[in-house]
Every structure is written in structure tokens, then in C-alpha cells.
A and B are shown apart, each in its own frame.
Chain A
Amino acid sequence: MLSFLMPARRGSGLGMALPALVLLLAFFVVPVTLLLTRSVTEPQPGLQNYETLLGSATYLRVFGNTFLVSGTVTLVTALIAFPVAWLLAITTPRLAGILFGIILLSMWTNLLARTYAWMVLLQQTGLINRMLMAVGVIDQPLQLTNNLIGVTIGMVYIMLPFMILPLYGVIRKIDPAILQAAALCGASKGQALRRVLLPLAAPGIASGALMVFVMSLGYFVTPALLGGTSNMMLAELIVQQVQSLVNWGMGAAAAFILLVVTLILYALQLRLFAGRGV
């Protein structure tokens, strides 16, 4: 008899989840509470850390940069990822396997190496500028590093797999006969995309977008290397406050704001796409 493994009644199966709960408590709830506490106690008790962060133009610009870059990265990533995911879903298993290999290989390559590679490609005398000049599109090299353009390009590249995979997940489940039905109903390719394919892929777009946006909000390496000091993003601000200025309260407040924004976005997504898979 295995009845001792079965919950005797509803709710008493909680015992099996206990180790996981303890782990969550120790490594998530406690640190977050400590973080919150530090943000309102250091250097002295009060909400002045939050007042400074949300009240001064300098810090607001950091938030502005962060949201602008994260938003742009999310949008561009989605635009590139959708056709790629579509191709993966409809192509032969062989070609899909090769494409997946390429995507995963880029994901598994060291992050720093990839970011440095972009620095080389994007710099004034880099491959991209030289090619554009050789073709004659531009006379002067474009400023592609040390600004938010560079950050956006570098981050789109890094975030692509996180958008492609959930999109592929939903698109693969769409029966091609549904699109044939749409066509016979009179829908042009554009109408079928807008009225059928996009709505059906929406849960995948939403989870991919949430993932990319949230990861972008707190991203450090790429903004630090490709962004330059005048275009600081939130993660760089936190590092600066904690490492250089040893202002733990300020860093904690910034991190806590980031967490709250993330949770709000997550709650929104749950609300909009509850029960729709992914």
C-alpha cells in the first residue's frame, strides 16, 4: 500500500512542498525584506532614498534611459523574433534543428565575449561602419558605441532567444488548417496575420516580452560596455551606488523599485493571459 504517500485530505500534501518553501523563504523572502529594510533605514530612517531617486532629474533620466532602452529592445526583439519563430514552426525538422543550433550556440557563448565582439563591430573603424562607407551609404562613420544605440543593438542580440522560444512554443501549436480556413474565409495574408495569427500568438508574445523587458531593466554588462558613462541605466546606477559610493540604502531603493515594476508587469500579464497557456 502506498497510501502514506497520498494526501489524506485536501491541503495536507503541503508537507512535500516544505523544503521548497523553506528554500524560498531563506533565499528570496528574507533577502528582499532585508533589501527593503536597508532602503528605508540607511543612512538614516525615512523615505529620503526614494525621494532622491524619484525626485531628481539626474536619477529620473536613468529611469528614463532604462525604460526607453528596455522598451525599444523588447519591440525590436519581437519584430525580429516573430518571423524567425514562424520559420522554425513551419520549416522541415532538419532546417529547424540547424536554426535552433545556431540560436542556442549564440546563447551559450560567453556574454562578455559577445558584447566585446559587438564593440569591435560597432566602433568607428569597425566592420559595420567600414562596410557602410565602402558601399557609400554614409561619408562619416556613425557613432554606434558609447550611446544607447549601441546598448540597444547589443541587447537585442542577447535577448532574441528569450523571445523566439516562447513565440515558437505558441506558433507551433497553431493548426495550419486554421490559417487555410482564414484564407478561404476571404482573409488576405495581412488580415490572417492581424486577425488570426497575432491574437493566437499573443500569449507567447506577452511572455516573451515580459521576460525580455524585465531582463533588460536590470541588465548590467551590455549597458556598461556599450553605453558609456553619460547614458547610465538602472543596473549601472545600483553598482555605482553600492561599489563606488558605498551607499547601500540608495542601491537597495533602486533595486526595490526595479522589483516592484517587475511584479506589476508580471501581475498584468497574468491578468490578461490567465489560463491561455505558456
Chain B
Amino acid sequence: MSYLHINGIRKVFGDVVATDHVELEIAQGEFMTFLGPSGSGKSTTLYIVAGFQDPTAGDIRLRGQSILNIPSHKRNIGMVFQRYTLFPHLSVAENVAFPLRVRRMNRAEIDDKVRRALALVRLDGLGERMPAKMSGGQQQRVALARALVYDPPVLLMDEPLSALDKKLREEIQHEIRRIHQETGVTILYVTHDQEEALRLSDRIAVFNQGKIEQVGTGPQLYASPATRFVADFVGDSAFLSGQVQDMTGTGATLRFADGTMLRDLPLHGAGRPGGAADLMLRPERIDLTPGRGREGASLPVTVEDVTFLGNSSTISARTPWGEVLAVRLTFGHPLLGQVRRGDRLTVQWQAQDAHAFARD
């Protein structure tokens, strides 16, 4: 039995379907991230877990028990919001003590828990400060302490770092990881930032248009994306458009505009001979070589442009039929610094790094 079960959640606003058949089982202590663009249904799903919205259909079960009929304030769930939501009239310590006060805990216990929660987020000694006198990063740390002080079974985080600048964001991502490890709390984390998702999560659920496209660990999503959307959203990728020539047990053959054929490609989605399909290649998973290249996993290209980035170069390479794909050469590559515009070279890849996606 899973710890938290998001069971077939569907939410309809008027005639807009915000989420549809969202199904997820989350283990105790897991760090699960909902990744997707805005409007993909990830926040709606989180709000339904929080109890701010009721689903049109489906159930949320915690340790096997439905929590849908429990109002927000009795769900005992912790949450850190996108906007700063500290109570502005209360000091840092009073903010963290708030959940304990409304639970009518005794004074000594409250003081002890508040002290430990502030130590956890490394704000010891700042208890007397007012929220308005703190930086955005500090305010989100206080919010985190306030959400964890009552030992909730689940912690929800709704893009908590989106208001912070990049450097601070990375610093607090570290803190969140550490706090997750120290407390072992189950976390549902919403973000549209794939880097943040990859850095933090045990598993990632990729949302698109109200549905989950794929659930898996970061490396799984990166190495074997189930859909074109996931391939596009997680990691960098180039898509070359072709046509399905035929399909066999080992994969599909794609034919490109100039007649080039590539065989035995794993085809995702409902492909059919004659239908359109895209070949996905990641810039850092393809190689550039002056030679002939690997049989069946290479293409002759012409160099369009070279962008030098210090420890790597990104090369725009044009295929024989005119589409452009990016190739990343990292430090140590024999061709780094050698490639010039107009060079005729070959790109090659490992068979498992090429994925074909049928277009609807």
C-alpha cells in the first residue's frame, strides 16, 4: 500500500479540464516533484491535496484513508507557498509557533519545538525579527520551519523558490535537500524548472495539459522519455522530422526529406507506416567526427555555426535535408576548437540515445 495515493484525480473548472485522471502513488519519505509548464495541472493537483479545492472525481488517500472530507485545517499537512505568506504582524518565532498555538500545545513544548525548527532551517537567533526585515530567502526558510514544526506527514511546496534569484535559489535547493534527508518528510514539490526538479527529486511526474505524461527518476526521464513532450521538457533536445517507412519488432524505420533512412529506432506513441514521426537527439549525447561514422547511427552534416562557451562548444550542424541540430563538444574532445563554419563532418550516436516519437 502506498503512503500517499493520488487516485484518478479529475478537476473541471466550468468547461476547462484542469487535471484528468492523475494517478500517482508516493512512498513514505519520497521527494516527488510535479514538473510542467504553467496551466499543466500540477498546482491544481497540489491544491486538491491541500484541500483548497475539491476534485470533480477521484480520491486522495493518506495511509489508505481518504482525506477528501477533512477540511484543510484538520489535514495536518505542511505547505510552503510561491508567494511570501508569513504573518506580517508576528515575529519569526511567533510565525513558527502559530501552528502549535492553534493546536493548544503548552508553552514549554512550543518554545522547544520552535527553537529546533529554526535550527533546522539555520535561522537560530533570528526568532525576534519581523518578516518584513528579512530577505526573500530567509522568509522562505521561516515558511519552511513553520510548515515542518508540527511534523506533518506530507509537505507541499508550490514553486517556493520562483521569486528568488538564481544564486539564492541554488543555495536553498541545497537546504531543502538537506532538510529532506534530516527529517525524512514526504515532499510533493511543484516546479516548472527542470533543473530544479532534477536536482531535488527522487522521482518526477511530468505534467502536460492536465495529464501526467511520465513518472520516473531524473535519469529515467532523461534517458528514456516516453513522449515527445517529456523529451522536449527534460534536458536539451533536437527533433528531426521524418516519416515512418515501416515498423518491425525491433523498431521503426524513419525516412527523411532527402531520402535518408534510419533503421531500428525505438518508436514511442501510436505510429503507423506513412505517418509523421520525429527523431530526437540530445546535443550532449551525439558526437562529431571527421570519419564515416557509426553504421545506421550517423548522419553527414555541414557546420553552420560554432559557439565557444569556455569548457564546451555548441555547434549548429545542418543535415543533408536542411534541418539543424545542436551538438555539444565538451572539454577534452579532439575537435574542440578545431571546427570551422562550412566544415563537412559526421554526427554519430549510440543506438540507445536515439528516440523516435510518432506525431498525432
Interface residues of A (CB under 8 A from B): 175, 177-178, 180-189, 191-192, 195-196, 199-200, 202
Contacts and interface: CB of A to CB of B under 8 A. Distances in A.
Contacts of A199: 87, 89
Contacts of B88: 200
30 contacts: A175-B83, A175-B85, A177-B81, A178-B87, A180-B52, A180-B85, A181-B87, A182-B98, A183-B51, A183-B72, A184-B50, A184-B51, A184-B75, A184-B77, A184-B79, A184-B147, A185-B102, A186-B73, A186-B150, A187-B102, A188-B73, A191-B73, A191-B102, A192-B73, A195-B87, A195-B101, A196-B87, A199-B87, A199-B89, A200-B87
Interface of B: 50-52, 71-79, 81-83, 85, 87-89, 98-99, 101-103, 143, 146-147, 150, 156
Contacts of B79: 180-181, 184
Nearest to B149: A185
Contacts of A180: 50, 52, 72, 79, 81, 85
Contacts of B82: 177
Tell me if A's interface is mostly helix, strand, loop or mixed: helix
Contacts of A192: 73
For A184, A196, A199, which residue has the most chain B Cβ atoms within 10 angstroms? A184
B83 A187 contact: no
B85 A178 contact: yes
Contacts of B87: 178, 181-182, 195-196, 199-200
A195 B102 contact: yes
Contacts of A175: 83, 85
B98 A184 contact: no
Given A175-B83, A180-B52, A191-B102, A185 B89 contact: no
Contact of A181 (B81, B89, B103): B81
Contact of B102 (A177, A178, A186, A200): A186
A193 B63 CA distance: 32
A183 B85 contact: no
Contacts of B156: 184
Given A177-B83, A191-B102, A195-B98, A184 B78 contact: yes
